[in-house]
Copies of this chain bind each other. A is one copy, B any other.
Amino acid sequence: MLSVSESEHIKAEKTLHTIQSEVQSTNKIALSVDCVIFGFDEDKLKVMLIRSDLKKYHGKWSLLGDLVKPNEDLDAAAYRILKQRTGLNDVYLEQVHTFGSITRHPAGRVVTVAYCSLINVQHHKLKITDNELHWHDVKNVTDLAFDHQEIFDSCYHRLQKRIQEHPLGFNLLPKKFSLRDLQNLYEAILDVKMDRRNFRKKFFTMDFLIDIDEMEQNVPHRPGKLYKFNYEKYEKNKKKWVGIDF
């Protein structure tokens, strides 16, 4: 259908006219956005899923997504979905990967751009009353609809990697948090146990935590100090990574 340079010889770049006719021809590929929305609750990493209504995937869980509108930027589409589903406006959002296998969607050719989002579960609460929308412990996420398992896996791995190199994690925590909260977060995301003393040393040495001189309330043990993350200081002092290691 598309009159693209399928010929053997390599020709120069297409003319505007050629492209325009291609763009306006039929048989196009549909484009969607899927969001992997992570939350952190009760010291567990969670992901927001919705039940699929497609017969083919009856009863299976799937990611939150929608088609991209003709006049909508990709990021805008992702933010729209987040707003719809969580009611939240300013959330961490990162494009991760685009999935375009021909057979990935039963309705036809739908290419989807996957986004990873981190939200503070205490900030939304409301919109989750819908019975088909639920937080799932990431440890129990298996067998999602479509190719959503693969999409979820890619976003989870991206999160695991990036949280070690950038201060994303704070998006999942309340503004004020204890060092124990922070460590629980890292342990949940990376699925490892860490030494409490070395963990603290690490973050104190980085020097991006602000001691706000408050203590935990209503904990059944000695309360810990609360901290905020100093984004400004971090932005100023960002590292220039150089170090070969594989």
Contacts and interface: CB of A to CB of B under 8 A. Distances in A.
B101 A98 contact: no
A22 interface: yes
Interface string A189-214: 01010000000001100100000000
A223 interface: no
A205 B86 CA distance: 49
Interface string A122-157: 000001001011000000000000000000000000
A243 interface: yes
Given A70-B2, A202-B244, A108 B24 contact: yes
Q: For chain A, what secondary structure do more than half of its interface residues adopt (helix, strand, loop), or is it mixed? A: loop
A104 to B, nearest CB: 9
Interface string A1-31: 1101100001011111001101110111111
A113 interface: yes
